[in-house]
Amino acid sequence: MNTASHPRSWVTSANDHADFPLQNLPFGVFSRPGFGRRGGVAIGDFILDLQTAHEISLFNGAARVAVEAASRGPLNEFFALGGSSRQALRTELLHLLDEKSLQRERLQAMGTRLLVPMADCQMHMPAQVGDYTDFYVGIHHAMNVGKLFRPDNPLLPNYKYVPIAYHGRASTLGVSGMPVRRPSGQTLKPGAAVPDFGPSKRLDYELEVGLWIGQGNEAGEPIHIGKAGEHIAGFCLLNDWSARDLQAWEYQPLGPFLSKSFATSISPWVVTAEALAPFRAAQPTRAAGDPQPLPYLLDEADQNGGALDIDLEVFLLTVQMKEQGTPPHRLALSNTLNMYWTVAQMVAHHSVNGCKLQAGDLFGTGTLSGPEPGQFGSLLETTEGGKHPIALPNGETRTFLEAGDEIILKARCHKEGEVSIGFGECRGVVLG
């Protein structure tokens, strides 16, 4: 990939950084010793402190309004400003952090007051989440899971007409690094007539992408499909931890409940829609015989460029692997092109009944598996419901997660002629 013509930063660690080069500039909320939570922007191995940047009047006009909203943390007020304010701030940040910036010497002289080493910081939830909705737009995951639970009818007939979703639990969302406690609940063992109660024995992860809602809508006013993308502030990684044995017993007739509501982890950085613009793609063509989306879900521009091309990876690091000093083992490599519905279609459908969306609401895509082994975004699929354990390089095996297991999600955008950007990591360790 030839990226020599692309701008570089005077923050040298940003140049060729795996996740946070100048072309990314994601937003987040952080703290460091002696200071409270505040907004920041990731650049290489550092966080640009937006509160300090605002105090020294680095920005003017719309960018100044945006940095004032983003500097305080959480980012709800910043999200609510919408795309024009977000773009104004991004444009100014690109100029300030460019290696040719006229303010380079002044900014460098400020040292860690302005640019804080990321290693010295603690990350927090980017926004206060009022509502969390988890979708089911990964068609390969839907087919694989359907075959396990409903072999004769794996994909319900509404799937190809409706972006399926359920209402998640916002109170149990947490940022990368939060511990995950094994949930308890009812399970029905094979052949049993009545359920047992106890800790889940089939704890799983789900490889997902999260969408942060920016500007919302008024109650009763649907968001048009052609405008839906304007209501998305950015994206993150999302792991919707799942208790598969609880799920199998409870999911009919009203869908997931306790099997999903105990923990959901997200990556701390909000990768903006603007940073992802070079990695937009045409929505994959539907299979022959599949219905066209209904008119309120169909927009030509969205079909031609509303999909995202993002590589998604999931890794497992066991206690024994940590003790042996061996690297995490990659369990799957998938891609967001495995989404049957676009993010704009998700927003349009969620609001079509008049549902009020608000800045800081979070959507999950659902598990984004690919069609082949090695591309499955959950252990449920990879082990076929526990029938075929995974053999790890150090001799261990896994059907579902065990105490001390750490799951690591990563995402990367690649395109010929473009600078690659990433999302950082979404980590979680299972306790007990």
- What are the tens digits of pLDDT across the range 291-333? 999 999 999 999 999 999 999 999 999 999 999 999 999 999 9
Distance CA 240, CA 244 (A): 12
Pair 221, 81 in one domain: no
Q: Do residue 77 and residue 177 come from a single domain?
A: no
Alpha carbon distances (Å) from 194 to 149, 190, 231, 249: 19, 10, 47, 11
Is residue 48 in a domain?
A: yes
Gap between the Cα atoms of 114 and 423, Å rounded? 22
Q: Residue 90 falls within a domain, yes or no?
A: yes
- Map residue 183 onto helix, strand or coil: coil
- The number of distinct structural domains making up the chain is 2
Model confidence band, residue 252 (pLDDT cutoffs 50, 70, 90): confident
Report the distance separating Cα 202 and Cα 243, nearest Å.
6
pLDDT at position 432 is 84
- Last residue within a domain, chosen from 70, 93, 124: 124
Q: 282: which DSSP letter?
A: P
The pLDDT of 90-114, averaged and rounded, is: 97
pLDDT at 340: 98
For residues 337 and 285, membership in a common domain is answered with yes
Q: Is the pLDDT of residue 137 over 60?
A: yes
The pLDDT of residue 3 is: 54
Is 157 in the same domain as 294?
yes
Q: Which range marks the domain in which residue 62 is found? A: 12-124
209 and 70 in a common domain:
no
Quick check: is 4 in a domain?
no
Q: How confident is the model at residue 27 (pLDDT cuts 50, 70, 90)?
A: very high
Mark which of 95, 124, 153 sits at the end of a domain.
124
User: Which of the residues are catalytic?
Assistant: 141
pLDDT tens per residue across span 34-67 = 899 999 999 999 999 999 999 999 999 999 999 9
Burial class (CB in 10 A: 0-12, 13-18, 19+), 96: buried
Same domain, 103 and 236: no
Same domain, 366 and 327: yes
- Rounded CA gap, 368 and 422, in Å? 17
Residue with more model confidence, 202 or 156: 202
Residues 355 and 391 in one domain: yes
Query: Do 327 and 195 lie in a common domain?
Result: yes
* Residue 116 shares a structural domain with residue 136: no
pLDDT at 284 over 50: yes
Alpha-carbon gap, residue 415 to 231, rounded angstroms? 25
**1 pLDDT above the threshold of 60:** no
Of the residues 67, 100, 124, the one at which a domain ends? 124
CATH code (residue 151)? 3.90.850.10
Looking at the structure, tell me whether residues 152 and 107 fall in a common domain: no
Asked if residue 373 has pLDDT above 70, the reply is yes
Q: How confident is the model at residue 2 (pLDDT cuts 50, 70, 90)?
A: very low
| SS3 state at 14 | helix
Q: What CATH number corresponds to the domain at position 34?
A: 2.30.30.230
